[in-house]
Amino acid sequence: MPIKASTPSSVLLVCLGNICRSPTAEEIFRQQAAIAGLSMKVDSAGTGDWHIGHAPDERAQRHAKAHGYNINKLVARQISADDFRDFDLILAMDAQNLANLQSIKNGITDTDTKLAKLALFSEEDPIYGGDDVPDPYTGDSNAFEEVIERIESSVQGWIESWKI
């Protein structure tokens, strides 16, 4: 598949705690990019520090596995200033996380390198474009299923946007 020169070589997916949405998105993005023939580094992080070092939420693991995505070996981490230097594109799961990321990026003054582009995860999604990926943490089983559906749709939207 021919891809645009502007296609990122690295993507970071970010939510609040890095235990539900972003680790799920990390694995879905990794698999779908590979299927599309894209070679890129994919990782995830959270804006908060509550779950650093923890595995993804057991419910997120269970629902992801049911769809063929194994996230049980991922470990939650908090975003750092280095991530803005190390990744080409940082995608936020919702508007609040996007605002938090923009604030962190605005505070980085000690760099001569190009910093990552920030965008809402659903920005290129033809169905959910501009919508937040809802946090399933306090929700039921349906909330986790909705998150997977939205993430799969948005990942495909990004991949399509990079095709020539």
Residue 24 sits in a domain whose CATH number is 3.40.50.2300
Contacts of 113 (CB under 8 A, 6+ apart): 85
Distance CA 73, CA 49 (A): 19
Q: Is the pLDDT of residue 122 over 80?
A: yes
Q: Is 157 part of a structural domain of the chain?
A: no
Q: Is 69 part of a structural domain of the chain?
A: yes
Output phi, psi for 56, to 5 deg.
Answer: -60, 155
pTM of the model: 0.96
pLDDT at 4: 77
Residue 85 is among the residues annotated as catalytic for this protein: no
Total domain count, the chain: 1
Catalytic residue among 94, 132, 135, 150, which?
135
Residue 135 is among the residues annotated as catalytic for this protein: yes
pLDDT at 13: 98
Structural domain containing residue 50: 12-147
Mean pLDDT of 154-159: 97
Instruction: State the pLDDT confidence band at 152, using cuts at 50, 70 and 90.
Output: very high
Q: Is the pLDDT of residue 2 over 70?
A: no
Task: Compute the chain's Rg from CA coordinates.
Answer: 15
Q: Is 2 part of a structural domain of the chain?
A: no
Task: Please name every residue paired with 120 in a beta bridge, in sequence order, or none if there are none.
Answer: 92
Report the SS3 class of residue 5: coil
* 114: exposed, middle or buried (Cβ count in 10 Å: 0-12, 13-18, 19+): exposed
Q: For the chain, what is the mean pLDDT?
A: 95
Catalytic residue among 15, 57, 132, 150, which?
15
Distance CA 122, CA 158 (A): 8
Q: Helix H segments across the chain?
A: 21-35, 58-66, 81-86, 95-106, 141-161
Task: Please name every residue paired with 10 in a beta bridge, in sequence order, or none if there are none.
Answer: 41
